[in-house]
Amino acid sequence: MSIGIIGSGAIGTAFARTLARAGIEATISNSRGPDSLKALVRELGPAVKAGTREEAARADIVFVAVNWTKLQAALAGLKWSGHIVIDANNPIEAPLFKPVDLKGRVSSEVVADLVPGARVVKAFNHLRAEVLAADPQSDGGHRVLFYSGDDNAAKAAVASLIEQIGFAGIDLGSLAVGGKLAQFPGGPLPNQNLIKVN
């Protein structure tokens, strides 16, 4: 499956780094265009190339890691038809770190409204970027990544990707249930840096 990344900041780059380490190809994008990503893709090596946000959004799996208040603009005008969108976002941002009022909804349900026609899987949002970027094999096991979603085939594809890049995936169920457990702030799972030992 092809992979696109929208957002090349701390989390987008951490995800790209895990893909590059596993030799998995991807196209990474940001708001400033591919030229601004030359140094990053040179550093990451041949698996990851720079593209526009439209090019990234054409992939089968589109990883979105953008500041909460910029998500609408980052996703505007993109066409979704069965794409898997990985929502790595949290409804809070620097410098105030004031939680967004979601009116009782789970943040991924709000993100899902911005990508109509896509199948949203919440994942890669519960660890700090530097932990996500680090070697997932640690202390004799594999670092845990949680995922949740309402489409089982989309979740299976993300679970497979999580395994390919060396993490241990744990299915938390639907967006309403799992999304809430992994949500930052509010859920019990953010920042739990867990290792699954087989």
Binding site for ligand NAP (CB under 6 A): 6-12, 30-32, 53, 65-68, 70, 73-74, 88-90, 125, 128-129
Nearest residue to ligand NAP on Cβ basis: 9
- Shortest distance, position 11 Cβ to ligand NAP, whole Å: 4
CA nearest 27: which of 51, 11, 46?
51
Please identify, using beta-carbon distances, which residue of 8 and 108 lies nearer to ligand NAP: 8
Q: Taking a C-beta distance cutoff of 8 angstroms, is the pair 165, 18 a contact? A: yes
Residue 7: what residue type? G
- Shortest distance, position 117 Cβ to ligand NAP, whole Å: 19
Please identify, using beta-carbon distances, which residue of 35 and 139 lies nearer to ligand NAP: 35
- Shortest distance, position 56 Cβ to ligand NAP, whole Å: 9
- Shortest distance, position 28 Cβ to ligand NAP, whole Å: 9
**Cross-strand bridge partners of residue 86:** 63, 121
Largest Cα–Cα distance in the chain? 45
- Shortest distance, position 166 Cβ to ligand NAP, whole Å: 19
> Distance of CA 52 to CAs 4, 17, 153, Å?
10, 19, 27
CA nearest 150: which of 179, 181, 126, 189?
179
Please identify, using beta-carbon distances, which residue of 57 and 153 lies nearer to ligand NAP: 57
Please identify, using beta-carbon distances, which residue of 33 and 46 lies nearer to ligand NAP: 33
Q: Count of alpha carbons within 13 Å of 89, Cβ hemisphere only?
A: 34
Phi and psi angles of residue 33, each rounded to the nearest 5 degrees, phi first: 95, 165
Please identify, using beta-carbon distances, which residue of 43 and 197 lies nearer to ligand NAP: 43
3-state secondary structure of 114: helix
- Shortest distance, position 113 Cβ to ligand NAP, whole Å: 16
Please identify, using beta-carbon distances, which residue of 74 and 120 lies nearer to ligand NAP: 74
Spatial neighbors of 77 by CB under 8 A, at least 6 apart, are none
Please give the structure tokens belonging to residue 164.
Answer: 């390919």
